[in-house]
């Protein structure tokens, strides 16, 4: 399952993400990973969550991000949920067609490996295509 949280800066996406992450810690039996750029959530999420600072890695596009996620999974088959905060900042790509393709890849990868994804996108809801909206 893929869930997208989308809205402009200041619309409460990070707060919603933090609440969803902490709820997942209480309800899910597997490991939880959160990929973010910066360290704004470090004090808000439970310490059992593997917090990954994306700036520490050369993630430059969706193909790199797919490889990064695949590597996380290869290193820990017990991951059940991956959270990605600010997808456009991490991927350095705001092309909606490529975003749709990436979200579909997450859906397929998640089904094959029993991993849920929750992804926040900082952009106006009016810019969301139907391929992105299906994950709201």
Q: Are 113 and 78 in contact (CB under 8 A)?
A: no
User: What is the number of helices (H) and of strands (E) in the chain?
Assistant: 5, 5
pTM of the model: 0.96
Domain spanning 2-133, CATH architecture: 3-Layer(aba) Sandwich (3.40)
pLDDT band at residue 120, thresholds of 50, 70 and 90? very high
| Residue 9, token pair as written in the block | 């800066």
**pLDDT (tens digit, 9 = 90+) per residue, 39-61?**
889 999 999 999 999 999 999 89
pLDDT band at residue 92, thresholds of 50, 70 and 90? very high
User: pLDDT at position 12, please?
Assistant: 93
**Position 32 pLDDT exceeds 90:** yes
C-alpha–C-alpha distance, residues 54 and 65, integer Å: 10
Neighbours of 83 (CB within 10 A): 26
How far is residue 100 from each of residues 10, 105, 111, measured CA to CA in Å?
A: 24, 9, 17
**Position 35 pLDDT exceeds 90:** yes
Tell me the average pLDDT of the chain: 96
Is 107 buried (19+), middle (13-18) or exposed (0-12) by CB count in 10 A? middle
């Amino acid at each position: 399952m893929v869930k997208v949280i989308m809205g402009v800066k200041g619309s409460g996406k990070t707060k919603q993400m933090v609440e969803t992450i902490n709820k997942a810690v209480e309800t899910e039996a597997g490991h939880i990973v959160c990929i973010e750029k910066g360290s704004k959530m470090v004090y808000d999420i439970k310490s059992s969550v593997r917090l990954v600072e994306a700036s520490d890695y050369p993630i430059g596009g969706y193909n790199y991000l797919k490889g990064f996620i695949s590597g996380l999974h290869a290193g820990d088959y017990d991951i059940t949920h991956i959270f990605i905060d600010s997808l456009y900042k991490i991927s350095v790509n705001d092309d909606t067609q490529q975003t749709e393709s990436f979200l579909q890849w997450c859906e397929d990868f998640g089904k094959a490996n029993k991993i849920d994804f929750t992804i926040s996108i900082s952009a106006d809801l009016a810019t969301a295509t139907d391929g992105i909206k299906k994950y709201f």
